[in-house]
Structure 1
Amino acid sequence: MVSTQTQQEIERTLGQVPSWMNQLAEPASDHSWGIFRDLTLGESELTPREKALVGVGVAAAVGCPYCSHFHREEARLAEVSDDELEETVTLAGTTRYFSTVLHGNEIDLDDFVDETDEIVNYLKEQEAPAAGADD
């Protein structure tokens, strides 16, 4: 259960203390709120919109209905469209699919990294002429 001070801060921030936050074991409860507050609600390198899209994708990939609901609502607050939500979930599913293929086939990580570097370099080379075409 969160401390009285943390409980008051949560109430000021969210309008209530969600019941699940009272299920957090000590000593993690106050710290858990801090992580949620700072990463989800606080200013960071990611915009609220980007955070919401990451949350939707991860929630879908791990199959968590609680997180899926929360992050979809968070995304709607950030004016993410239904098409963007669908694409985010599809991208998360694609990542999970290929992760399964890579792990299941025991693809060598070093070879994968080398191939990825080659692909990135190729794509960068393709972008350079296209960017110069406007001149």
Structure 2
Amino acid sequence: MEAPTMTTPDTQEEIEQTLGQVPSWMEHIAAPADDHSWGLFRDLSLGETELSPREKALIGVGVAAAISCPYCTHFHREEARLADVSEAELEEAVSLASTTRYFSATLHGNEMDMDEFTAETAEIVDHLKEQEAAAAGDD
């Protein structure tokens, strides 16, 4: 027995034309958000935006890894492969995500002062800019 779809017939047709099918998981989106959810996915993930498909896929892989979602990890890894992302790049994206999650836990768990953190970050950015300018002057 097929589960009833929650999206409107027009949205179902658009999803099927775009993806070749209406994925079963989309049938579990609550009615008030069903068509809107497809629009978000379509426009941000598949649409032409400021980010390239490669960048979107790498972000997706990193976020999926950081939130430990096997569904999102699988989807975004496949998306990344479609965008010609190498296995080494996938591994790096996951490593970057894990580093961010690690330091986030450290900062939150130790209740670091946000104002101090912001000021230190500004100093670090200034220092890095100075190093870049000096390196460019060496060329």
- The TM-score range, normalised by the shorter chain, is over 0.9
Aligned to 2:110: 105
Return 5+ residue gaps in structure 1 as ranges: none
User: Residue type matched to 1:123 in 2?
Assistant: L
* Count, aligned residues: 134
SS across alignment from 1:57: helix
Normalising to structure 2: TM-score of the pair?
Answer: 0.95
User: Residue type matched to 1:113 in 2?
Assistant: T
1:17 and 2:17 are equivalent in the alignment: no
Aligned to 2:55: 50
Separation in 2, partners of 1:14, 1:27: 22
Separation in 2, partners of 1:82, 1:66: 18
User: Residue type matched to 2:30 in 1?
Assistant: A
Give the CA deviation at 1:33.
Answer: 0.1
Aligned to 1:62: 67
Give the CA deviation at 1:129.
Answer: 1.2
Separation in 2, partners of 1:130, 1:100: 34
Query: What RMSD over aligned residues (CA atoms) do the two structures have, in Å?
Result: 0.5
User: Residue type matched to 1:115 in 2?
Assistant: E
Separation in 1, partners of 2:134, 2:29: 55
Separation in 1, partners of 2:78, 2:98: 20
Return 5+ residue gaps in structure 2 as ranges: 1-5
- For residue 95 of structure 1, the aligned residue among 90, 100, 115 is 100
Aligned to 1:78: 83
Normalising to structure 1: TM-score of the pair?
Answer: 0.98
Aligned to 1:124: 129
Structure 1 runs (4+) deviating above 3 angstroms are none
User: Residue type matched to 2:71 in 1?
Assistant: Y
Separation in 2, partners of 1:27, 1:126: 52
User: Residue type matched to 1:16 in 2?
Assistant: Q
